[in-house]
Amino acid sequence: MDMDELKLEIKKIIISSLELEDVKPENIVDSEPLFGAGLGLDSIDALELGIALKKRFGISFSAESSDNRKHFASVDALAAYISAQKNGEAK
Amino acid sequence: MAEKEHWSKQHEKGKLWMRKFTLACIRILPGIVVRILAIPIGFFFWLISGPERKAIIKYLKKVRPDRKPYTLPLFLAFSITIIEKVESWAGKIRLGKIHFQDDDINTIWKELEQGKGALLVCSHLGNMEMLRAIADFGDIGVSRRVPVISIVDFKVTAGFNKMIEDANSSSMHNIISAYDIGPDTMLMLQEHVAKGGIVVIAGDRNTEGKLDRNFDIDFLGSSAHFPQGPFIIASLLECPTYFVFAVRQKPLSVSAEYNMHIHKTRVKFSGSRAEKKQQIRQMAEEFVSYLEKYCNKYPLQWYNFYEYWEKGEL
């Protein structure tokens, strides 16, 4: 899966898991923040999105790391983190 | 009347030196002396807490409509509870003082013994710190140490938490602020529960601003906002979920005898997203019905000092 497909997939998961019926994948800007400003998701969205992305991509986080949050900052950050984890497993 | 501030914006009363002084007193003085001191301190806070008194009057009129809504006893009881919270954190409360009931306590102990984790939905009725007894004491409860994560409304309790930290730095207790929840939080909680840990969250504080994230549920006779968050977390964690109430047998007494009530939810999550939404609401309603039951049983131990019901409601 190349990066553009991955980003589209992430956007579809954001939309379906949070039931953002009036949002289309092309409305989500890759580099814009998902939470607060930008797409404006709240903390409950965050809880649901975390689980949905884990189910789809099997991503994991080290409990100790304080970097976890930044991987969820935007579609760009998520795509980079997911593809890095996948490549890590393939090696 | 001026617009009511959301409770999370209300300032914590008391300055840092006062908290430090309180902690030092609790550590040094015998329990009985500290409890007697709690009376003038509680009286002082009662005097300076106008808006809180008004909110409590509304609550008392609902829970005991047949009696005059005297607020002072509740403030005094709160003052004693604060002391006992700190004592419990500092490991100074003996478990013999906690009386378990013939409810679901054996079920949760059995599940914890099997290595399962759990979600405990507690409230600001009584002293939620006491429910750590479920997890913390190997001799009568569970033969393993059960790690606990509490999700707290940090903005209100920052000062208090600082005091807790000073009191006992070795506790197996982690605190997450509800204002600091992100997508990684849920994955971390899931992992914690999978490893047999307990997650604790209060089910009776409404979410700031986001009114669409509240449920309107009938509580003591009229509709009040309850948060969706704790029950959504329950649906995402898919682990055994309990409602827990730790309340003093007598609100105002020198001896700290507590009753612990614990009920496993009857709601099971399954089916489509729409069905789950329905189940989340059912779980919130189930929690509120227990909350109401114990408010009626222990009316003076309600420590939500803000306007709980819709404006204009009495």
pLDDT tens-digit series, residues B212-254: 688 999 999 999 999 999 999 999 998 999 999 999 999 988 7
Q: How many structural domains are present in chain A?
A: 1
- Minimum CA–CA partner of B185 in chain A: A47
| Residues on chain A touching B210 (C-beta within 8 angstroms) | 42
- Minimum CA–CA partner of B190 in chain A: A51
Interface with chain B: mutation pick from A18, A41, A44, A68, highest number of B CBs within 10 Å: A44
Closest CA to B263 of B246, B281, B238, B280: B246
pTM of the model: 0.85
For residue A46, what is the domain's CATH number? 1.10.1200.10
- Minimum CA–CA partner of B189 in chain A: A63
Q: Do A50 and B213 touch (CB under 8 A)?
A: no
Contact A6, A14 (CB under 8 A): no
Q: Cα dihedral angle (B98, B99, B103, B109), rounded to 10 degrees?
A: 50
- Minimum CA–CA partner of B235 in chain A: A48
Note the pLDDT of residue B158.
58
Long-range contacts of B218-223 (CB under 8 A, 24+ apart): B218/B288, B219/B288, B219/B291, B219/B292, B219/B308, B219/B309, B220/B59, B220/B62, B220/B63, B220/B292, B220/B295, B221/B62, B222/B62, B222/B309, B222/B310, B222/B313, B223/B309, B223/B310
Interface with chain A: mutation pick from B8, B186, B272, B280, highest number of A CBs within 10 Å: B186
Interface with chain A: mutation pick from B149, B154, B184, B210, highest number of A CBs within 10 Å: B184
Note the pLDDT of residue B212.
66
Note the pLDDT of residue B94.
62
Based on its alpha-carbon atoms, the radius of gyration of chain A, rounded to whole angstroms, reads 13
The Cα of B305 is separated from the nearest Cα of chain A by a number of Å equal to 25
- Minimum CA–CA partner of A17 in chain B: B273
Q: Do B181 and A46 touch (CB under 8 A)?
A: yes
Residue type, B55: A
Q: Over the stretch B190-213, which tens digit does the pLDDT of each residue have?
A: 989 999 999 999 999 876 655 568
| Residues on chain A touching B229 (C-beta within 8 angstroms) | 43-44, 47
Q: What ipTM did this prediction achieve?
A: 0.78
Going by pLDDT thresholds of 50, 70 and 90, the confidence category of residue A63 is low
Structural domain boundaries, residue A49:
3-90
Count of alpha carbons within 13 angstroms of residue B275, beta-carbon side: 6
Q: Over the stretch B147-184, which tens digit does the pLDDT of each residue have?
A: 888 887 755 455 666 666 666 555 556 778 777 777 78
Going by pLDDT thresholds of 50, 70 and 90, the confidence category of residue B2 is very low
Q: Do B186 and A48 touch (CB under 8 A)?
A: yes
* B:269-288 residues touching chain A, CB 8 A cutoff: 273
Buried b (16+ CB within 10 A) or exposed e, A28-63: beeeebbbeeebebbbbbbbbbbbbbbeebebebee
Bridge pairing between strands B198-202 and B214-219: unpaired
Closest CA to B87 of B126, B30, B141: B30
Residue type, A47: L
The Cα of B43 is separated from the nearest Cα of chain A by a number of Å equal to 38
The percent of residues above 90 in pLDDT, for chain B, comes to 44
| Residues on chain B touching A70 (C-beta within 8 angstroms) | none
Q: Do A47 and B190 touch (CB under 8 A)?
A: no
The Cα of B210 is separated from the nearest Cα of chain A by a number of Å equal to 9
Sequential DSSP letters for B98-131: EEE-SSSHHHHHHHHHTT--EEEEE-SBS-GGGG
